Amino acid sequence: MSSKIDQVKSVFAQPEQYLQRMDFNIQVRREIVEGFVGDAGLKSILDIGCGNGAISIPLLQRCNQLTLLDVSSKMLSIARSRIPTEFSGNVETINEDFMKAELPIQSYDLILCLGVLAHVDSPMDVIAKMVSLVKPNGSVIVENSDSQHPVSYLSNLYLAIRNVFLPNPYPLNQLSGAKLVEIFGNHGLKLSALYRYSLPVPGMVRVFSNDSMYKYIRKVYGTHTNNYRSWLGSECIYHFRKPDTAKSDAP
């Protein structure tokens, strides 16, 4: 039996269809991340499950080093093609499972992990490793579908019915928002910001354009500074900060 990471690789072996279908969601994630980061100067960024790089590559103007990591070699190839020539020397690409990758401890000002936790062997292990890699006073921005939200229950019901005819290659991890905040809190990270929204109902991606669905999400849920109707949102983008223990322990 193939491992889960092999199954994930297989699912994203042909990424073009996924990227085209989910472009509106990638755009929303990118804008929320940029809003959370603001004008902060960043020396180093790690993007776990970077996909086509659309979220982190725009941040190159604010950092000296960007590391793009993805298990899909084709995704990384697309990401490389998007790197501006003047920044090519500032970008490292790693085609590997995050849990197996040898990365320097406490070396990143910002770690991005969007659309990943549902597909890993152990979300808790991934979170623990991210915390070990981020610098004191650094940030982790992570996305998770709140498993206890009513929209998630409906989505899971739809998937259960769909799996009767089109079985998923592997089960997606289920993690509540409260549990995610608790796990990061146990590692000493504090929640700095949260943006909640929900994806359009299944089937809309086949009927409406990416631009229409993007505008729908923005109209219903607003921006990172004005996230109205957030109670409707099952998709959550969290901004956690790691305190500088040296400063906090100072007299």
In this predicted structure, what is the pLDDT of residue 49? 96
In order along its 251 residues, the chain shows pLDDT tens digits of 457 888 888 888 788 888 888 999 999 999 999 999 998 889 999 999 999 999 999 999 888 899 999 999 999 999 999 999 999 999 999 999 999 999 999 999 999 999 999 999 999 999 999 999 999 999 999 999 999 999 999 888 888 888 888 777 788 899 999 999 999 999 999 999 999 999 987 777 778 899 999 999 999 999 999 999 999 999 999 999 999 875 554 44
For residue 44, what is the enclosing H or E element? strand 42-48
For the beta sheet containing 108-113, the strands, ordered from the edge strand earlier in sequence to the opposite edge, are 91-94, 63-69, 42-48, 108-113, 134-145, 235-241, 190-197
The count of other CB atoms within 10 Å of the CB of residue 237 is 23
In this predicted structure, what is the pLDDT of residue 243? 94
In this predicted structure, what is the pLDDT of residue 250? 46
Delineate the domains of the chain, giving CATH numbers in brackets.
4-244 (3.40.50.150)
Is there a contact between 50 and 69 (Cβ–Cβ < 8 Å)? yes
Is there a contact between 75 and 8 (Cβ–Cβ < 8 Å)? no
Report how far apart the first and last C-alpha atoms of the chain are (Å, whole number). Answer: 56
In this predicted structure, what is the pLDDT of residue 226? 97
In this predicted structure, what is the pLDDT of residue 182? 98
In this predicted structure, what is the pLDDT of residue 239? 98
In this predicted structure, what is the pLDDT of residue 129? 98
Is there a contact between 244 and 137 (Cβ–Cβ < 8 Å)? yes
Is there a contact between 191 and 181 (Cβ–Cβ < 8 Å)? yes
* 153-163 b/e (C-beta count within 10 Å ≥ 16 → b): eebeeeeeeee
Alpha-carbon span 179 to 165, nearest angstrom: 32
The count of other CB atoms within 10 Å of the CB of residue 131 is 20
